[in-house]
Structure 1
Amino acid sequence: MNMKLIFAGFVILALFLEIIWSQAKKKEVFSSRESLANLGIFIGNTLLKPLSLAWKYFALGWVESFQFLSIPTNFFTIVLTFLVTEFGFYWYHRLSHEVPLLWTLHHTHHSGMKMNLSTAVRLNWIGTFLSPLIYVPFVLLGFSADLIIVSLLVNLFFQYFLHTEAVRKLGFLEGLFFNTPSAHRVHHGSNEKYIDKNYGGMLIIFDRLFGTYEPETEKVTYGVTTGFYSNNPLKLNFQPIIDYIRGNWKREKQRIKEGKSN
């Protein structure tokens, strides 16, 4: 059976179950207009998928010809590749919050004011072409480009299920090893104590190691610090870049700092 169809089936089934849960529990976790915006962004990324995937294989595959080492493929190196990919994801994700230009791309994902599984596909169209470049150093060191790409795809598939309020805190598992919906809700919060926290993909260990882990201790206010941004997919993808070029762009922590000083 086609693995893509299996993955797609899990994604659609989970979203369907979340909708049923939200209706049964009377949880206002969906906004029809925001969900349509998420769908529009998803359609754009789906249309770009053949090109973005080809770019990933081309960029990382080309770098393989310049490798310093040749790392054999076995169980140990597959696990190591997964950890290296997670490490790369953590730092690219962190830089996407801390570097204003990268924040213009990642802002798309965080501008949603609801937390549900459709939010997971709210990903900037340009960012999907830039993110693979963070893995170039690992390929040069000898890691397989194919294994890195597969590890990243598995990582992103796992992250889809983190975007939900249906799963509450997981007790002693929180902050232990794997990322959780609770930890990722914190990441999407515009609460001052939640900003720039919990960057991990599948794992939370690098947040623990580098001091960016924050548990969910207060109700999360989703979205960005400026509040509602737009439900227009084109504006969500490109307006932050335009604002950056015009010199009218700040990262979240800077906005809060300036707000306190005023």
Structure 2
Amino acid sequence: MNTNNIQYYFAGIVLVALVIEIIWSKTKNKSVYNLKESLGNLGIFIGNNIMKPISLGWKYLVFGWVAEYHFFSIPTNAFTIILAFLAAELGFYWYHRLSHETPLLWTLHHTHHSGMHMNLSTAVRLNWIGAFVSPIIYIPFVLLGFSPEILIICITSGLFFQYFLHTEAVKKLGFFEGLFFNTPSAHRVHHGSNEKYIDKNYGGTLIIFDRLFGTYQKETEKVKYGVTTGFYSNNPFKLNFLPLVEYFKGNWKREKQHIKENENTLDLKN
């Protein structure tokens, strides 16, 4: 099976899952889709696919250049592939966490979180610039000697897994929640603008690093999706670039700052 066939195979799985979720939402009368928002998600997805050859080439360029200065030579075998997967997961956790805790990176990640609904189309709501910034977090692992190709495969497979986390069709998974792998319930929490849910559950495929670093939160109350400032836009260009413009104008804050300001305002009124 060549690379193109593999891509078509995974694209087919993604499309079938989307159709199944739409049918589920209609038959169960679930308001998980909004036409304008879904069209905005589609526009962002198209933009990312147009730039995909460039962003993927950029990853290979960065990793290839850094690999020339690697400290060790790590052979590729079953054990080191598992280690590379764990390294990719650790890198994703910290990049994801910094994307919430650092205002500049939040301007990029805000695109993904500004959706007011949770469905599989939300998974492809990814900032166009972010794909060029995220490789930087994985540079230490390339310097250690991990294969750039294996790391890219691990990162890509992790993103594929995360696609299926963006749904309300899968309820809590009992004892499986918070055990080892990330779940739709845990990721719904991550997308919540509820105060107790903000800056929680950063994991990609795994949830173990959230457990380790104290950022795990169970789904205990109904999730309010979107950002604390409410509806932002359905325009793909505004969703990708307006937060960055606001940042350089000095009008940008991360979620916890908004909550703190609202609390201070209420205190003054009282």
Give the letter for the 2:70 counterpart.
Q
Distance across 2 between alignment mates of 1:139 and 1:185: 32
Is 1:67–2:70 an aligned residue pair?
yes
Alignment partner of 1:11 out of 6, 11, 14: 14
Alignment-derived partner of residue 27 in structure 1: 30
Distance across 2 between alignment mates of 1:46 and 1:85: 22
Q: What do residues 93-123 of structure 1 show as CA deviations (whole Å, max 9, x unaligned)?
A: 0000000000000000000000000000000
Alignment partner of 1:127 out of 110, 120, 130: 130
Give the letter for the 2:136 counterpart.
L
Distance across 2 between alignment mates of 1:100 and 1:111: 15
Give the letter for the 1:210 counterpart.
F
Is 1:91–2:112 an aligned residue pair?
no
Tell me by how many angstroms 1:125 deviates.
0.2
Q: Report the secondary structure of 2:185's partner residue.
A: helix
Tell me by how many angstroms 1:62 deviates.
1.1
Q: How many residues align?
A: 262
Give the letter for the 1:23 counterpart.
K
Give TM-score, length-normalised by structure 2: 0.97
Is 1:252–2:255 an aligned residue pair?
yes
Is 1:49–2:63 an aligned residue pair?
no
Q: What do residues 158-205 of structure 1 show as CA deviations (whole Å, max 9, x unaligned)?
A: 000000000000000000000000000000000000000000000000
Q: What do residues 184-239 of structure 1 show as CA deviations (whole Å, max 9, x unaligned)?
A: 00000000000000000000000000000000000000000000000000000000
- Aligned-CA RMSD value: 0.4
Distance across 1 between alignment mates of 2:78 and 2:129: 34
Identity of aligned residues (%): 73
Distance across 2 between alignment mates of 1:5 and 1:123: 21
Alignment partner of 2:157 out of 147, 154, 159: 154
Tell me by how many angstroms 1:61 deviates.
1.1
Tell me by how many angstroms 1:258 deviates.
1.3
Give TM-score, length-normalised by structure 1: 1.00
Alignment-derived partner of residue 268 in structure 2: none
Give the letter for the 1:191 counterpart.
N
Tell me by how many angstroms 1:257 deviates.
1.0
After TM superposition, where is structure 1 displaced by more than 4 Å over at least 4 residues in a row?
none
Alignment-derived partner of residue 101 in structure 1: 104
Write out aligned runs for 1:181-220 (5 A).
181-220=184-223
